Amino acid sequence: MTTLRIGIASYDDMKASTLAIARGKLKPKPSDPKVWFTSPESLAKVLSINNRMLLDVIATAAPSSLAEIAERTGRAKSNLSRTLKTLERYGLVKLVRGEKGRISVTVPYSAVSIVVPLRQHKASSKAAA
């Protein structure tokens, strides 16, 4: 089973961490989350029941086009395209443009693991410096 690790952190904490990594002051561990959200609510919108059902259809049926996904899910193609772009931005799907502009979609993960801090962390001035 391949699992995507997702973290929840404030924008300031994510920015401080990214800058610290870029400056070589922080080395991410392999176990660190690969995708970040600023709140559990924003994660819940992306991983809504409808989107999880969409991911399941793509993973199990391996449709060959957006039209086939739209047909299998009953979703409008325009809405589907927008949703898939959002899911791609978070690494939950891979979109590949093939022959004649046809887009194929794959789901690279079978599960997600979510790291949610129980208290708000303030970005340290050392990490941001």
- Total domains in the chain come to 1
Residue 126 lies in a domain: no
What is the reported pLDDT for 82?
93
* 81 domain-assigned: yes
Eight-class DSSP state of 24: T
Backbone angles phi, psi at 33, to 5 degrees: -60, 145
Range of the domain at 96: 3-120
Asked whether residue 54 is assigned to any structural domain, the reply reads yes
Is the whole model's pTM more than 0.85, yes or no? no
pLDDT level of residue 24 (50, 70, 90 thresholds): very high
Phi and psi based region of residue 24 (left: phi greater than 0; alpha: psi -120 to 50; beta: remaining): left
Q: What is the pLDDT of residue 100?
A: 75
Closest CA to 87 of 66, 60, 105: 105
**Res 125 pLDDT > 60:** no
Give the pLDDT confidence score for residue 127 in this predicted structure: 45
- In this prediction, residues 103-108 reach a mean pLDDT of 90
**Residue 125 included in any domain:** no
Please say if the pLDDT value at position 79 is more than 50. yes
| 79 vs 116, higher pLDDT | 79
CATH number for the domain harbouring residue 37: 1.10.10.10
